[in-house]
């Protein structure tokens, strides 16, 4: 995927597709969804010098159903 001239990879990092990572050179934003219903929460871990342009797609993608867009875990 590309945003603002930057190229990103988005992939599942866990078996059940609850944990994902949005990556570009030098930056990784890990997201997770936990809980059910009104208690559902999202967590974010930022590795590297991320800015708002990196965070915006991660925030949007964690809030929508994107299972078919996400590559699986590779060994």
Structure confidence by residue, pLDDT tens digits, 4-42: 899 999 888 877 767 899 999 999 999 988 888 788 888
pLDDT band at 73 (very low <50, low <70, confident <90, very high): low
Look at the block and give the residue holding tokens 């590309």. 2
In this structure, what is the dihedral angle of CA atoms 19, 24, 25, 28, given to the nearest 10 degrees?
-30
> Any residues with CB less than 8 A from the CB of 19 and at least 6 apart, and which?
12, 13, 30, 31, 32, 33
The pTM score is 0.79
Domain borders along the chain are 2-64
- Give the 3-state secondary structure percentages of the chain, helix then strand then coil, rounded to 5: 25, 40, 35
């Amino acid at each position: 995927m590309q945003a603002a001239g930057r190229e990103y990879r988005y992939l599942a990092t866990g078996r059940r597709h609850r944990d994902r990572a949005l990556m570009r050179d030098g930056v990784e934003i890990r997201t997770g969804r936990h809980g059910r219903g009104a208690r559902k929460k999202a967590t974010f871990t930022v590795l590297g010098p991320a800015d708002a342009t990196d965070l915006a797609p991660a925030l949007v993608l964690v809030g929508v159903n994107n299972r078919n867009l996400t590559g699986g875990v590779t060994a």
